[in-house]
Amino acid sequence: MPVQAWWTTYDQSDKLYDVLIANEYPVAGDQNQKQTYYTVAYDAQLAAAATRKYHKRCFIYCPPGFNVLASGAWKDAREYTREELRYLWFMPISSGAMGIMGWRQRRATPEFSENILFPVMNEIKALTPWFLGEQLDRAVRCSRDGDVTEYKVRKRSRMTDDEDDEFYIRPVKTITWIARRNPADGSVLLLVCNNSYQPEQVFFTFSEPIDATYALELFSNQTIGLGGRFKVELKPYDVKAFMLPDAGRMRN
């Protein structure tokens, strides 16, 4: 079960793994620099595709877990905010990742760990019963399922700083989401990620009527009413987690 270092290796190395371990650590940019967080979405998208293509058990993801890394592109880079790190850790789950392992957590300062890293890890831990529960993706419909955002991604791994930059233009799913039921109480979690560098709006509907009349967005602690459909507003590289407490009738 080796860590596959780059998305161009997932096909060629399929005989080496039963569980694919993917990893990507985009640098946090400033307000004048467009973030490259979409590379995590692109990587997770290809990891999920390789897992299906080669009938592997699953894939797990290694997002960044550090704020002190004085080398390469990360030298002098600012640290991630909690919202940014939340996206980098939750986004692979919205593409089907069945595990998360933070990379280089020993290079996290106590302050970063306490205020940013551990809170995000605890959010994932608290939602694990839903992530491992019944899949209900066919019971939910998303208005943006066919939409993609095109980005520049490297043709191959850049091993040294003096290599030429070579890029492809590749599509990345604009919105990724999953719906999962907690077997203990029947409640349903709808996890939604915006993989775009700009704000996005999305509508969700249900294939059959459900009992739930509202959903609680866990990160903001705000409730929204559930009618025939409900609207979700997302900031760039945003994550929202909606809890439907009374959704026992929801079926695929």
pLDDT digits (tens, 9 = 90+) for 150-191: 987 776 655 445 555 677 888 999 999 999 999 999 999 999
- The rounded distance, in Å, linking the Cα atoms of 52 and 14 is 11
Kindly state whether residue 80 falls inside one of the protein's structural domains.
yes
User: How are beta strands 58-62 and 19-23 bridged, if at all?
Assistant: parallel
Kindly state whether residue 152 falls inside one of the protein's structural domains.
no
Kindly state whether residue 28 falls inside one of the protein's structural domains.
yes
Output the CA torsion sign for 6, 7, 9, 10: positive
Considering the entire predicted model, what is its pTM? Answer: 0.91
Neighbours of 84 (CB within 10 A): 20
The predicted structure's pLDDT at residue 32: 46
The predicted structure's pLDDT at residue 13: 81
Q: Say how many domains are in the chain.
A: 1
Domain that residue 19 falls in: 7-132
Kindly state whether residue 108 falls inside one of the protein's structural domains.
yes
CA distances to 8, 14, 20, 138, 162 from 53, rounded to whole Å, are 15, 10, 12, 21, 35
Kindly state whether residue 95 falls inside one of the protein's structural domains.
yes
- The rounded distance, in Å, linking the Cα atoms of 45 and 176 is 10
Q: Where are the alpha helices (DSSP H) in the chain?
A: 38-53, 82-94, 110-112, 118-131
